[in-house]
Amino acid sequence: MKTIYLMRHAKSAWDEGVGDFDRGLNKRGLRDAPMIGEKLREMGIKPDIILSSPAKRAKLTAQIVKEKIGYKGEIVFVDRLYKASLSDIKEMLTSLSDEIDSVLLFGHNPSLTLFIDRYSNFNIDNIPTAGVVALSLDEDWSDIKAYALQKIFYIYPKMYKR
């Protein structure tokens, strides 16, 4: 079985004069990313590989979560994950070695939501910032096709707000 954890970057800042690619995290993002990282650690999530968009907000989210879950490897920053199309995400996943059983992928909307809606049995209107959808695939990575992925869980920051 293969497992895909799709995480949208945490809430980003909208500082004047900063381009989209270079936007960092705002106060809420800096609170939510470590909290979701802790939840993933509590769930025992240990991916074989972490892929991330190189955009600053995704990169920061990935680095925070990496630390929280105790991932020892390097994060692989993939240019195509910034402004990715559905086919970009699918091609990245289907090209993974079958020796890899799980991947944690940090990206952006709308592509993450569209990928989940197209390739899984889970329909989501919008994956919120710092939200994670875990999906499973019974076969090899090359077998990803429409509605083939099965939802394992879906978590997001507001689930844990007191």
Q: What is the reported pLDDT for 161?
A: 77
Q: Which of 70, 136, 130 is nearest to 101 (CA)?
A: 136
Task: Verify cis geometry, omega within 30 degrees of 0, for the bond prior to 110.
Answer: yes
Q: CA separation (Å) from 107 to 7, 16, 31, 38, 162? A: 6, 23, 18, 19, 27
Q: What is the reported pLDDT for 162?
A: 58
Q: What is the reported pLDDT for 25?
A: 97
**Average pLDDT of every residue of the chain:** 96
Say if residue 132's pLDDT is above 70.
Answer: yes
**Residues 145-162: pLDDT tens digits?**
998 999 999 999 999 875
Give the predicted TM-score (pTM) of the model: 0.96
Q: Which of 34-43, 102-111, 139-148 has the lowest mean pLDDT?
A: 139-148
Q: In CATH, what number is assigned to the domain containing residue 76?
A: 3.40.50.1240
Q: What is the reported pLDDT for 116?
A: 97
- Total domains present in the chain: 1
Say if residue 13's pLDDT is above 90.
Answer: yes
For every residue of the chain, DSSP letters joined together read: -EEEEEEEPPPBP--TT--GGG--B-HHHHHHHHHHHHHHHHTT---SEEEE--SHHHHHHHHHHHHHHT--S-EEE-GGGTT--HHHHHHHHHTS-TT--EEEEEE-TTHHHHHHHHHBS---S-PPTT-EEEEEESS-GGG--TT-BEEEEEE-GGGG--
Find out whether 141 and 94 touch, Cβ atoms under 8 Å. Answer: yes
**Residues 21-45: pLDDT tens digits?**
999 999 999 999 999 999 999 999 9
Domain that holds residue 72: 2-160
**Residues 49-84: pLDDT tens digits?**
999 999 999 999 999 999 999 999 999 999 999 999
Q: What is the reported pLDDT for 23?
A: 95
Task: Indicate the pLDDT class of residue 15, thresholds 50, 70 and 90.
Answer: confident
